[in-house]
Amino acid sequence: MVKPYSLTSSSSHHSDDSFTLESIVESQFKPIEDILTRQDDPTDEDTLIMSQRLYSRFSTSNERVVPLISWLVQRELEAGFNFGQKSLSSRTILLLLNSELTVRLLQTVLLTFQATNQVTEDPFLATSSFLDVLSSSIDDVPVNVRRYLHTFHHSVGTRIEDAEGVPFVAVYFFEQIIFPFLSSQDQKSVGSSSARSVVEYLSQVFQGSMIEPNGSQLRDTIHDWFDQVIDEDEITKYEKLIACSSAIEKSSVEEDQKFLEWINQLRGPVSEPEDAEREYMRQQLLEKINCKTWKMMMQKEKNHYRFYSRKEPGISSTAAKIQTRIYLPLREAVQQWSTRMWSPEDDDMIKYYKLEPQDNGDIRASAYFKLPSPFQNRVWCWNVSEKWTSHRVVRMGWNAPHPPVKGCVVGHVYLEGEVYEEVEEGVTDVTMILHVSSQGNMPAWVEKMSLSKQADKFRKLTEKINRTNILTSSAAQTCRSIGKSSSKVVYLSQGQTYSGSHDSSTGILVIQLRLGIVASL
């Protein structure tokens, strides 16, 4: 059964299969993994936003955070990384470990170290003193940090080698948490070099360049400290002591709902949506259209044409919005725009554009784009659902599966669509959202160039549709003015030339327009 496009079990019409944070955990973060898989080389900002949101919503309980860390570690290891890059895994785990409570612990350790440390230029003695203070503060290590380190350590297992006998996660905690803290505090302490010497000395210890037996002694101290930090019995004992209440605060529930709304927007429907889900998606589409963060790229006020772009958090590809005016009644405007937006006749980069009616009333659309070398061609496939009223049409599109195509990359379509409104008789305003992912390796400059090309393409399409409509209307007027007795005429109207002939046997007057458009009336 398809999971509904709901927010929480309390707000869903299908509570048995509602999409919740717990269902994300139970499915081993597959919905989020699917979103990440569709991203083409996400920016640092995209990755940071995703990591911050994962940290915020999944660090609220062990039932959430332990599976989160396990999933993040698995992703990092499968990618061949070691948590040193600015990946989603490394960023999120760093946020979990480098909490405000961790900073307070390290501040206390540093103050105690500075108060008890005798003035010495011996870096070994200074480092030993610092580690002694750290070990004596074992009970002050935040219990949630201890749980995170325990999970991190057991998730890594033996897949990353120890550094000179020190567990990888222990070294990570020193290098990514303690060292940056000491370095930042040392910069604030004028004339003090003790913190800096500890960082430099321990760095040599982890690299195996320390003269023995000093190196072995310090490594043993760190190993013993880490073993105590991740002791399962001690962690469980402290967790029971501080578990005063397991109830989730109202604000947390509200934040969960906001997170799920955001994930749903990135995720899109996983299959054919139900009626309630479609209404929710349409509302999301309208909110996307009316969002205040669109950046204008082109404006042709005379033609009522505007083109905008916008980056959405967590999605690397840029969305585009077109606003234009078509001088046709509503139904004709929908027919013209929806069938010609990707027509090969209006865009030489398109190999084909298909619209196939489905049994449920939807439309299955697909478009094949020819890209210049060295890029592979692209094909997109999406479902279209239409909702008609007397003066308004909303066409909503979302991704549909497409079989592999040899020599071509199958792209992904995010929630997009068009809104048509007949603002006066024979005049229809069109607002269109385009939001797709090219998949594969597509440089940012190509996307930027594509946006500029699309801005110009849809401006020209508007002009073609309107020009065709004007010429066809003029041709009809010409027919009425010529009558049926002429065998051949030349008619001038608004600078256009028409040559026509009358077939007496059929009574049909054929008007040949100078632009090559034929109208039989």
Mean residue pLDDT of the chain comes to 81
| The pLDDT value given to residue 260 | 82
d(CA 28, CA 68): 8
143 contacts 65 by C-beta, under 8 angstroms? no
Mean per-residue pLDDT, 484-499? 39
Checking if the pLDDT of 394 tops 60, the result is: yes
| The pLDDT value given to residue 308 | 96
Mean per-residue pLDDT, 221-236? 95
Q: Kindly state the tokens that stand for 73.
A: 């570690």
Checking if the pLDDT of 505 tops 80, the result is: no
| The pLDDT value given to residue 470 | 67
Per residue in 27-59, pLDDT tens?
889 888 877 876 666 778 778 889 999 999 999
Per residue in 154-204, pLDDT tens?
999 988 888 778 999 999 999 999 999 998 875 555 435 678 889 999 998
Range among 246-260, 397-411, 470-484 rated most confident: 397-411
Which of residues 312 and 286 earns the better pLDDT score?
Answer: 286
Checking if the pLDDT of 331 tops 80, the result is: yes
User: Which residues sit opposite 421 in a β-bridge?
Assistant: 392, 429
| The pLDDT value given to residue 402 | 85
pLDDT class for 214, splitting at 50, 70, 90?
confident
| The pLDDT value given to residue 257 | 81
Checking if the pLDDT of 439 tops 50, the result is: yes
Q: Kindly state the tokens that stand for 250.
A: 């109202």
**What residue spans define the domains of the chain?**
276-470, 480-520
In terms of residues, how long is the chain? 521
| The pLDDT value given to residue 123 | 86
d(CA 162, CA 169): 9
Per residue in 91-127, pLDDT tens?
999 999 999 999 999 999 998 988 876 556 788 888 9
CA atoms within 13 A on the CB side of 93: 34
Task: Indicate whether this model's pTM tops 0.75.
Answer: no
d(CA 39, CA 310): 16
Range among 239-253, 445-459, 473-487 rated most confident: 445-459
User: Residue 317 class from Cβ within 10 Å (0-12 exposed, 13-18 middle, 19+ buried)?
Assistant: buried
| The pLDDT value given to residue 473 | 58
SS3 520: strand
In angstroms, the Cα distances linking 198 to 114, 251, 384 are 12, 42, 62
Which superfamily, per CATH, for 276-470?
START domain (3.30.530.20)
Which of residues 316 and 245 earns the better pLDDT score?
Answer: 316
d(CA 342, CA 458): 10
